[in-house]
Structure 1
């Protein structure tokens, strides 16, 4: 397995993985929407999208969005999406994607990376902690739906 930055040529292979990721978070299947969302992000260079591949098959991905930390007065990455195909799990793919994300963040001069995950996703939480991520015990996250 290896990681690399995704290109538009990966879109058709990447869209089903992105759709499966969304379904993991209880969204209805929508392959066309998944493809269009990724296409738009890639075409506008609005995210760093890393893929995990073995041979010619994509097995997973990680998507990073640039942001800023006002307190540090520096740019950061938000690791928003991380997914490995169920058939490829427990083989080090998620670790490889996380390390590739850290490497990309360093290359692009980011001060920090942030991520959130479901409270029930204990397997991912254990991986993050093994790889040096720290649980934020100071701040609470809030959301407000706009539609």
Structure 2
């Protein structure tokens, strides 16, 4: 079995969109998928890409992906890589593809002088948590994720200094 990792191209957009939907289904979050394929393509491959994607293949067939972007650590004074999505199709699990995708991102982080590689994992996803721990990842128990979206984002974004004070 030949395992390979490659950077995604605009021609991969239908594949990426399907892998995102497959991931959402696995995470029981399919109802949350709202992206428009064309907008996703523009955000990934347009004039100002916001994220990067690598495709994992087994014997030339795409079986997984990792979508990531740079963040920044003020404490380290260096960038980091944030892994937004990692997914390997069920039939390819156990092949080493997930580890290869993470190893590829770790190598990119080192090449780009990043301080760290980090991501979030659903607390119920024990298989993933165990897999990540075996690779040397640690849970950040002292941190709680926060999010502002939808109507709350619109309200916060519309607030002016005068209306906040």
Partner deviation per Cα, 1:88-135 (whole Å, 9 max, x = no partner) = 112111111111111111112211111101001111111111111111
Aligned partner (choices 25, 30, 37) of residue 27 of structure 1: 30
Structure 2 residue runs without a partner (length 5+)? 152-165
> Could you list the runs of 4 or more consecutive aligned residues of structure 1 that deviate by over 6 angstroms after TM superposition?
29-32
Equivalence for 2:83: 79
Highest RCO, 1 vs 2 (Cα 8 Å, sep ≥ 6)? 1
Taking structure 1 as the reference length, the TM-score comes to 0.87
Determine helix, strand or coil for the equivalent of 1:87: helix
Equivalence for 1:50: 54
Task: Measure the CA separation in 1 of the matches of 2:129 and 2:148.
Answer: 24
Equivalence for 1:66: 70
> Which one is further off, 25-34 or 58-67?
25-34
Please state how far the C-alpha of 1:27 moved relative to its aligned partner.
2.2
